Structure 1
Amino acid sequence: MSYITPLFFGFISAFIGIIPPGLINMTAAKVNHKEGKRNALWFVFGATLVICVQVFFAILFAKIISHRPDLVTLLREIGFCIFTALTVYFLWIAKTPKGKPKKFKNKSKSKRFFLGMLLSALNFFPIPYYVFVSISLASYHLFSFDTTSILIFVNGVLVGSFLVFYIYISFFNKIENKRDYIMKNMNTIIGSITGLISIITLLNIINYYW
């Protein structure tokens, strides 16, 4: 298998998983706005480091359960339910966030680094997300669980995560006056993506039972 493949899918999965406005990327944007790019980048370094560790252990866990077809099918069914619920939420329930962003006091870059690590460690979404992603890719023979592929995939996640965070801290100030409009449309985009994933997962489940 080409080493480009795990790198590419690591990058894409990280980009899709982090691009929706969330606690970590929005905090990075706000730190940049209040304290400057240097502190924001240290925050991103801390967050990205923890994400890479989470992804590595998520894939190791996926490798273990990949030998159990029944568990793989169960995870697909759970994933289908989760992504369907997310689709319904983002397309029909989620509303545009209101309220002004909180102000930050100026902090040292080391404190921002550890804050990034803390917030990232408190976010458990990457673990089930990358378990589901890696097993799904492996089922299509687009990913293998050998050590080299895993490390390359993690590096792809590293690059993709950092790029998304950098986009947030670089462009958030320029579009802050349009934030509500963008986030409202972002819900539609996210809902469409999760809806597509739900359909693909459902087809896989039907194909397995038939």
Structure 2
Amino acid sequence: MVLITPLLSGFIAAFIGIIPPGLINMTAAKVNLKEGRKNALWFVLGALVVIFFQVYVALLFAHVIDNRPDVVTLLREVGFVIFSILTIYFLFIAKGPKTKKKSKIKKSSKKSRFFLGMLLSGLNFFPIPYYVLVSVTLASYHLFVFESNIIFTFVMGSVLGSFAALYSYIGFFGKIEKKTDYVMRNMNTIIGSITGLVAVVTLFNILNYYFG
């Protein structure tokens, strides 16, 4: 039971972090459409290998930062700003991807797609500060502890959440293309609502720290 919370926390954090349209998930969808699902899954597997180490490194950084209350408070304030911006973006600015014509399936090496996934994931430095912020925030609410088994469980949850988000692009992108506006509008609303809730909770804790 103790490991369920970090597993779910890692899963949810990863899913929210990857589900918005970006280079990795859109490339996974593109590989699926052009080269088939097998190559797309090899691409995802390569990306997951790098994500595993990125999250682990992020938690090591977070462990050091967690021993500095002043830094934790600063991260809360930064987190409030970031989540507020994300909320505004997803609720009022974000638009669904444009529909593209289907391409013929092309053959390509599984090995090349695996390393392409590693390369694109490695070039994405956002996960490290993102997971530092998430883990420190969870720890400040006593929902996460920097212990080896908890850290490993959180990392695995993040990998599973990343796979779920990427696979959703592979499995459902064709359907999303047919109903882009409807699906993406609702997806953005859900994500924006979640980030908005996190922003409100974070603001409450910041105010409580200064005036409580």
Return the alpha-carbon distance in structure 1 between the equivalents of residues 121 and 190 of structure 2. 24
Within the alignment, does 1:59 sit opposite 2:83 as a pair? no
Q: Using the TM superposition, give the Cα deviation of residue 3 of structure 1 relative to its aligned residue in structure 2, in angstroms.
A: 2.0
1:21·1:183 contact (CA, 8 Å) conserved in 2? no
Return the alpha-carbon distance in structure 2 between the equivalents of residues 73 and 140 of structure 1. 12
Structure 2 counterparts to residues 1-210 of structure 1, below 5 A: 2-98=2-98, 100=100, 106-210=107-211
Q: Using the TM superposition, give the Cα deviation of residue 122 of structure 1 relative to its aligned residue in structure 2, in angstroms.
A: 1.7
Aligned residues: 210
3-state SS in 2 of match to 1:186: helix
Tell me which amino acid in the other structure corresponds to 2:14. Answer: A
State TM-score, norm by structure 1. 0.91
2:10·2:154 contact (CA, 8 Å) conserved in 1? yes
1:39·1:109 contact (CA, 8 Å) conserved in 2? yes
Q: Gaps spanning 5+ residues in structure 2: where?
A: none
Bigger CA drift: 88-97 or 58-67? 88-97
Q: Using the TM superposition, give the Cα deviation of residue 30 of structure 1 relative to its aligned residue in structure 2, in angstroms.
A: 1.6
3-state SS in 2 of match to 1:143: coil
2:98·2:180 contact (CA, 8 Å) conserved in 1? no
Return the alpha-carbon distance in structure 2 between the equivalents of residues 136 and 158 of structure 1. 19
Tell me which amino acid in the other structure corresponds to 1:112. Answer: R
2:84·2:195 contact (CA, 8 Å) conserved in 1? yes
Once the two structures are superposed, residues 23-82 of structure 1 have per-residue CA deviations (whole angstroms, 9 ceiling, x without a partner) of 211211121111111100000001111111110011100000101100001011111111
Paired-residue identity, %:
68
